[in-house]
Chains A and B, each alone.
Chain A
Amino acid sequence: GDSVTQMEGPVTLSEEAFLTINCTYTATGYPSLFWYVQYPGEGLQLLLKATKADDKGSNKGFEATYRKETTSFHLEKGSVQVSDSAVYFCALSRSSKSTFGDGTTLTVKP
């Protein structure tokens, strides 16, 4: 079946550091790929998405590129802020349902 594997956390960075959170997937066909973010005590919310190979999703300085050849959708940000501290989930959607990774906790220190 479908699966999503995320870089294990937690990840701790200093403010203005470069962020990469790795995500790889297994799925047949052409799934859509998503990054969701969850702030403490809240539900998940969409950060960015890509619906076909080579598409780049971007939002709030975060970017991820749909790489079909490596089945990856790595999340990057050039300069993180304290307010980016949250849990990040990679997900794919196919066949009317979504499959989520286990989440990566990011803590950014001033």
Chain B
Amino acid sequence: NAGVTQTPKFQVLKTGQSMTLQCAQDMNHNSMYWYRQDPGMGLRLIYYSASEGTTDKGEVPNGYNVSRLNKREFSLRLESAAPSQTSVYFCASSVEARGDGYTDTQYFGPGTRLTVL
């Protein structure tokens, strides 16, 4: 069981370049998330997907797009990278996010460290 895997681990981009961060989980979880972590700001939710075929904006979605390719995979795309997007990006998954508002424990990948010059 690999858990949540992310690729790449490190990436350096120039302003205006595009790239896709990949995430996959092998725990058969319904819900998947993308966060960014910046010093002193905790984790901020970019997008999430409560189930295959659905995606919703989080706290900081501007400049990003996502695709829930299937139950296992959830990718994050930067169409035109900006220096403000320099951050560490984490993908996470959880068993379910029920209609009554309960979200179970989240399982995190190891992160992608992105630098935009």
Contact = CB atoms under 8 A, between A and B. Distances in A.
Interface residues of B, number: 26
Contacts, number: 63
Contacts of A36: 106, 108
Given A97-B48, A101-B42, A43 B97 contact: no
Interface string B73-91: 0000000000000000010
Contacts of A89: 42-43
Give chain A's interface residue range (CB within 8 Å of chain B).
20 to 34
A100 B111 CA distance: 17
A102 interface: yes
Given A44-B90, A97-B48, A102 B110 contact: no
Given A43-B90, A103-B42, A96 B108 contact: no
A93 B102 CA distance: 6
Interface of B: 4, 31, 33, 40-43, 45, 48, 50, 58, 90, 92, 97-98, 101-111
